Structure 1
Amino acid sequence: MRADIVVGLQWGDEGKGKVVDYLASLYNAVVRFNGGPNAGHTVIANNTSFTFHHIPSGALRGTKLFIAPGMLVNPEILNEEILSLKQLVSSFYLKIDSRTSLITPADVVLDKKIEELKGASSIGTTLRGIGPAYSSKALRISPRVVDVLNESFDFSIYKKLYNVEFESELWLKNAKKTLKDYASDVREELLEILSKQGNVLFESAQGTLLDPIYGTYPYVTSSNTTASYAFVSSGIPYKYSGKVIGVLKAYSTRVGKGPMPTEMSEDLAMVIREGGKEYGATTGRARRIGWLDIPALKYATEINGTDEIFITKLDVLSGIKELKVAVSYNIDGKEVENFSPLENIESAKAVYQNLDPIPKLYASDISYIIKNGWRAAPVQMRKYVSFIEESLRTKISYASLGAERGMTVKVE
């Protein structure tokens, strides 16, 4: 009986959905514990592609699915997601904790207003109402699942404070219809699973470098993204803690504004962006592209207490004529080996180490590696992974060589 955690080690979009789907069959339950529908976790398996915004990415594996109360739910988007999922699977077990706060139309409007007021200093949110909804929760004025089901929520203070009008009665009616079959005490259900020697997998949204405390504030998300928050969010005692599985992409990406020391020239970024399909699953926005950032990854690995790593999109770097990794920064004329959001990270210039480029891999090459194991991978690719392992002092257990579930190989 243990609770393992999948967490992103960069600025999000590392491929956590694929990792959770790949591992989910080993667990009795998968739990989303932070963020909300700003997440877009895409799973591709058996000629089927599905992007999850609320629902945990273990849905196609038939495992039990839970949404912890540290997360946010938009009932309208959730309803669409449930209807879409029902077209793919005949049945699924989904429970949402009754303490979970909800995103209302007012939160979405307010999110847009705040970005507009910030003008040039806007941070580039997904405009899904995440920040305002978490703010409302902190102010103790947001509706929760239980409030909607009990028809006990009064929107009057909410509307006056935010000066936003919407059809609250209709919203409440539709929200109740969506939520009534899924409300539960998730903490109790998870404890029961663990008490019967079951295993639980927590699924994080966004990435460590977007954490509102430990990320590149103010260019961060609104909920905690690190592994330790899984226990706070779900109410599960820390004694059930298993291992932390960090997910990193073979290069860096970021959506929206904020420092990114390894950001590369647009010409090369375009090649990688197209090869890796680096466009947001939720917003469709083009992601910024950079080389792998070892100082930032050391920081994220340490904060999460990462036990092992799942590296994704290695195949995208194949055929690129140069391969570089940032090993330190130059900040104000001084070489700095550690990443810290408290430093003048926006002016940091990456100091690189060149590695041997990975030869171009075609579909037949990848199939050969998947069939014959990690030792069949090009030596340059294996050296790249070993360099990362040694730099982070953390074992890389799996490597993804494509978007499909099966395009994954154990690193041995």
Structure 2
Amino acid sequence: MVDVILGLQWGDEGKGKIVDFFAKDYDVVARFQGGPNAGHTLYVNNTKIVLHQIPSGIFHTDKINLIGNGVVLDAVTLKKECDAVAALGFDYRKNLYISERTHLILPTHRALDKASELAKGSEKIGSTLKGIGPAYMDKTGRNGLRVGDLLDKSFTTQYIKLRLKHQRLLDSFNFQEDISAWEEEFFEALEFLKELKIVNGEYFINEQIAAGKRVLAEGAQGSMLDVDFGTFPFVTSSNTISAGVCSGLGIAPQKIKEIIGITKAYCTRVGSGPFPTELHDATGDFLRNTGNEFGSTTGRPRRCGWIDLVALHFACMINGVTQIVMTKADILDGLDTLQVCNAYNVNGVETKQVPFQMNKLNITPVLHSFKGWYTDITQSTTFDSMPAEMKTYIDYLNNYLNVPVKYISNGPGREQLVTI
């Protein structure tokens, strides 16, 4: 049996903490897509750690953690993360596995990412410059190198061939930066990677399922960044939705049971792209500063706004979400008035559907106002103890989305998760 946890907005919904919380009930935690552009923040023994590649179940020593074939892997980032995990007293070598079909991010992928983004000028999409897009392009172009290729004696030859192809592209961008230091670090990290548990991922995960093990599939980014259904072209390069679980791990759809969607109590977005409910005022500043809305991977300030129920309903629909976790509800404690977007006004016509190419339309959010609870909820341990105004807010979301909010996160601590 497989349950899925994924983001329902533009990423940064707090997936790391939620996966960490749920991991105790599972035997396997598996990442199914994305790369080091993910930033899943956890607190371990009161120490903050951000995971970019390693599944968020790594701090549960009795759980298997699998990096699936749908991920693109940066060996340098992985080595640094493993060192950070070890520094906290956890032996990652015991329970970390990597699918041999996982594609590698090369130094030239990072260079191509940077060159391409610079060439876009004012039309840049806000790439994290980690090489993820070019790595996925090589995957779909059938040029990429995979983790399993490391064990082939011809790996260096394959690498040089692909590097030369990338160099021709870099020359066309007139990219002059010296990446020799990146390459040196890369090959050192590959030697480290070869020492880890490299497995036939699809057989490995299906054997776990057949043995009655409970699997938690962990997504990165958010549904509105999905390459097919997100706010294209301001999206990531993988399928971030529940359908990506099957192709990113090698499991059949009927194996999936619960799909747990995560949303903030408001909205954020990093980088460029449409954001209908964005606030350019003191409330937006309040959400950013109170919520510490700065990218865990990039450090960039996040754009902030009211919760967008049109986009959230769309995300629930395409994912088949069965339950919702709402994070950062406590950030709204200091507001006496709240608003939610329950429709879009597109060129004078009201709609509750996410339109094609939002960035080319004049979209005004239709907002519904609520009285804020203006109460500190961080100490609440039961839903009954929550303020009435918050219950009204949650009821409205439940009715609009037709999917129940089952958990409310009211602080960064692992224990700060209230069950409804």
Aligned to 2:50: 51
The counterpart of 2:378, out of the listed 366, 370, 380, is: 366
- Superposition map of 1:70-81 within 5 A: 70-81=70-81
Stretch moving more, 27-36 or 378-387:
378-387
Show the counterpart of 2:98: 96
Paired with 1:99 and 1:211, the residues of 2 have a C-alpha distance of: 21
The yes-or-no answer on 1:64 pairing with 2:64 is yes
Cα distance in structure 2, aligned partners of 1:169 and 1:377: 54
Question: Per-residue CA shift, 1:181-231, capped at 9, x if unaligned?
Answer: 221112222112111111100000000000011001000001110011101
Going from structure 1 to structure 2, the CA distance change for 1:326 and 1:55 (only over 3 Å counts) comes to same
CA contact (8 A) 2:28 2:214 kept: yes
Aligned equivalents of 2:352, 2:140: Cα separation in 1: 37
2:166 maps to which residue?
Answer: 162
The answer to whether the 8 Å contact 1:269/1:290 transfers is yes
Say which SS state the counterpart of residue 60 (structure 1) adopts. coil
By how many angstroms is 1:108 displaced? 0.6
Structure 2 contact 79–189 (Cα < 8 Å) conserved: no
What residue number does 2:310 align with?
295
Q: TM-score, normalised by structure 2?
A: 0.93
**TM-aligned CA distance change 1:341 to 1:7, over 3 Å:** farther
Counterpart CA distance in 2 for 1:214 and 1:137 is: 20
Identify the range of structure 1 (277-286 vs 176-185) with the bigger mean alpha-carbon deviation. 176-185
How far apart are the structure 1 equivalents of 2:361 and 2:72? 31
3-state SS of 2:378 partner: helix
- Paired with 1:401 and 1:343, the residues of 2 have a C-alpha distance of 32
Distance 1:329 1:149, change over 3 A: same
Q: Deviations over 1:46-90 (max 9, x none)?
A: 312211100011112221100001101100110000010011133
Measure how far apart 1:343 and its partner are.
5.4
* Matched positions, count: 404
- Of 98, 121, 124 in structure 2, the residue corresponding to residue 122 of structure 1 is 124
The 3-state SS of whatever aligns with 1:44 is strand
Identical aligned residues as a percent: 37
Does residue 1:86 correspond to 2:86, yes or no? yes
For the residues of structure 2 that align with 1:169 and 1:16, how far apart are their CA atoms?
A: 33
Quick one: distance in 2 between partners of 1:79 and 1:173? 9
1:7: which partner in 2? 6
- Which of residues 403, 407, 410 is equivalent to 2:412? 403
CA distance in 2 between partners of 1:345 and 1:9 (Å): 22
The aligned amino acid for 2:120 is K
1:324 pairs, out of 317, 328, 339, with 339
Residue in 2 aligned with 1:282?
297
- SS of the residue aligned with 1:335? strand
- In the TM superposition, what is the alpha-carbon distance from 1:339 to its structure 2 partner? 1.5
The Cα of 1:321 is off from its aligned counterpart by: 2.8
Could you report, residue by residue, the CA deviation over 1:160-200 in whole angstroms, capped at 9, with x for unpaired residues? 32215755587445413323322111222211211111110
Distance 2:55 2:236 in 1: 19
Residue 39 of structure 1: aligned partner = 38
Match of residue 212, structure 1, among 222, 227, 231: 227
SS at match of 1:56: coil
1:152 CA drift (Å): 2.0
Contact 1:215 1:341 in 2 (8 A): no
- C-alpha displacement of 1:347: 1.5
- In structure 2, what is the Cα distance between the partners aligned to 1:176 and 1:151? 13
User: What's the offset of the Cα at 1:238?
Assistant: 1.9
Q: Secondary structure at the match of 2:59?
A: helix
Deviation at 1:45, TM superposition (A): 4.2
The more displaced of 195-204 and 176-185 is: 176-185
The one-letter amino acid paired with 1:33 is F
Partner of 1:109: 111
**How far apart are the structure 1 equivalents of 2:129 and 2:347?**
35
Residues 312 and 82 (structure 1), Cα distance of their counterparts in 2 relative to 1, 3 Å cut: same
1:377 alignment counterpart: 386
List gaps (5 residues or longer) in structure 2: 171-177
Structure 1 CA distance, aligned partners of 2:208 and 2:163?
Answer: 41
For the residues of structure 1 that align with 2:83 and 2:204, how far apart are their CA atoms?
24
Instruction: Indicate the SS of the match to 1:318.
Output: helix
* Structure 2 residue matching 1:190: 3-state secondary structure: helix
- Give the unaligned 5+ runs of structure 1: none
Indicate if the aligned counterparts of 1:34 and 1:71 stay in contact, CA closer than 8 A.
yes
Q: Deviations over 1:344-396 (max 9, x none)?
A: 664200010001112131xxx522x21xx110001111111111111100011
1:10/1:209 contact within 8 Å kept: yes
Rounded to whole Å, the distance in 2 between the matches of 1:341 and 1:9 is 18
Aligned to 1:27: 26
Q: Is the 8 A contact 1:75 1:179 kept in 2?
A: no
Check 1:143–1:344 CA distance in 2 against 1; reply closer, same or farther (3 A cut): closer
Q: 1:134 aligned to 130, 136, 142, which one?
A: 136
Q: How does 1:103-252 map to 2 (within 5 A)?
A: 103-153=105-155, 154-163=158-167, 167=180, 171-172=186-187, 174-252=189-267
Contact 1:310-1:399 at 8 Å conserved across structures: yes
